[in-house]
């Protein structure tokens, strides 16, 4: 007999769109929650139009964060749509929304309105810049990467500020929103009370700056772009080999000694300019030249194999396809097949990152087509509360 999933029986009303909110609710769905995604009739989530690329079933952007959900089209500009949406929120354990601050309240769907009749609701609001002075500012990942400081520390030292290659701030915010929702559900289990969780892209970014942010807060040092170098660890960078660069991430003095032994220059680890990490940081430019002279004798692939065997973390820059192949080779089972409502496999996606023991029988339902569940959900919302679909 299979154990129920951790969030089995939890109903999530998903009023979010694009990335941060939908990734949060997909995570909850992966853990067993029933997620009903409310979309605009005719167009749905913005990301349903974001492409190419497209899979056989739709835009890959939309599909990346919307599996294991139901899609219901409700026109929130109309009384009937708002009333059905309100009924859904009143039945929900969790509400997730990323309207502009105050937008849900204008529709009669804000936290105060919903919690008055559903005091146990966990209500998660995602915004770009919070609900105070930044309430009027639209929240887009690229913008927050820029004004929040991430781009100032990303990119070549002598080049232009650079964004991350994925909407990283949205992803971080989704994880913070999920953590908040799960913690609030646990608090409700103990107290019977729900909560309103506010998460902003700017706050999530700043919370993720960790050592770089604390360099400013704790030491008054404003970090700058250093390309692939690390401000506090050397060598922790890209080093040129005979044919291509190699990523080397030496985290301690013992690893550095093994690194120099593999390179055939063990005396470098005994040099007082390089013997400790602090010394290596002070002499990073000179050390890089010494290391690259030795690395020029072999290809990056050859060095990767030799260094890995010696316990020195190093690797070539890989494409996403190669990264998937590596995870498969290592037995991480990085992907899952997803099925449509008939049970036919229609695609492959990255699985939920956490692996459980004993394993979870996680759902693998493909992202819904627009309005695929409207009739069923609307019929259920018109029936007395307490009745399952």
Tell me the catalytic residues. Answer: 170
**SS3 state of residue 70:** strand
8 A C-beta contact, residue 237 and residue 288: yes
Query: Which residues 6+ apart lie within 8 Å of 113 measured at CB?
Result: 86, 105
Query: Which residues 6+ apart lie within 8 Å of 214 measured at CB?
Result: none
Beta strands of 101-244 (E only): which ranges? 122-127, 195-200, 236-240
**SS3 state of residue 39:** strand
Torsion of CA 29, 33, 34, 35, to 10 degrees: -50
Beta strands of 178-334 (E only): which ranges? 195-200, 236-240, 245-249, 314-315
Among all chains, which residue has been given the structure tokens 């995602």? 126
Q: Taking CA 144 as the corner, what is the angle to CA 233 and CA 14, rounded to the nearest 5 degrees?
A: 115
Length of the chain: 389
Which of 371, 370, 369, 389 minimizes the C-alpha distance to 379? 389
CB atoms within 10 A of CB 203: 18
């Amino acid at each position: 007999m299979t154990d129920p999933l951790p969030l089995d029986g939890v109903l999530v009303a998903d009023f979010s769109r694009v990335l941060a909110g939908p990734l949060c609710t997909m995570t909850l769905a992966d853990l067993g929650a029933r997620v009903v995604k409310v979309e605009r009739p005719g167009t749905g989530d913005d990301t349903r139009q974001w492409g190419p690329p497209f899979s056989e079933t739709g835009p890959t952007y939309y599909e990346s964060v919307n599996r294991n959900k139901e899609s219901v089209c409700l026109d929130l500009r109309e009384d009937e749509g708002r009333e059905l949406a309100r009924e859904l929120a009143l039945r929900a354990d969790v509400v997730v929304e990323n309207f502009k601050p105050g937008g849900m309240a204008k529709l009669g769907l804000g936290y105060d309105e919903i919690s008055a009749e559903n005091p146990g609701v966990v209500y998660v609001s995602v915004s770009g810049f919070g609900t105070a002075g930044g309430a009027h500012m639209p929240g887009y990942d690229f913008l927050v990467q820029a004004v929040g400081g991430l781009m100032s520390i990303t990119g070549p030292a002598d080049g232009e500020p650079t964004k991350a290659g994925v909407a990283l701030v949205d992803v971080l915010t989704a994880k913070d929103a999920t953590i908040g929702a799960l913690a609030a559900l646990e608090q409700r289990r103990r107290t019977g009370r729900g909560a309103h969780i506010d998460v902003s892209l700017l706050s999530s970014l700043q919370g993720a700056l960790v050592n770089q942010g604390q360099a400013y807060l704790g030491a008054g040092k404003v970090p700058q772009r250093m390309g692939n170098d690390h401000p506090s660890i050397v060598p922790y960078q890209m080093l040129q080999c005979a044919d291509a660069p190699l990523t080397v991430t030496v985290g301690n003095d013992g690893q550095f000694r093994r690194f120099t032994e593999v390179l055939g220059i063990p005396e470098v680890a005994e040099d007082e300019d390089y013997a400790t990490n602090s010394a290596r940081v002070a002499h990073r430019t000179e050390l890089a030249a010494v290391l690259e002279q030795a690395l020029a004798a072999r290809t990056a692939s050859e060095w990767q194999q030799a260094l890995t065997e010696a316990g020195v973390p190093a690797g070539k820059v890989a494409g996403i396809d190669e990264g998937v192949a590596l995870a498969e080779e290592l037995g991480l089972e990085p992907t899952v097949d997803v099925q449509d409502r008939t049970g036919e496999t229609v695609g492959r996606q990255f699985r939920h990152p956490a692996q459980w023991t004993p394993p979870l029988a996680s759902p693998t339902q493909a992202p819904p087509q627009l309005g695929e569940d409207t009739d069923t959900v609307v019929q259920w919302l018109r029936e007395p509360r307490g009745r399952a679909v």
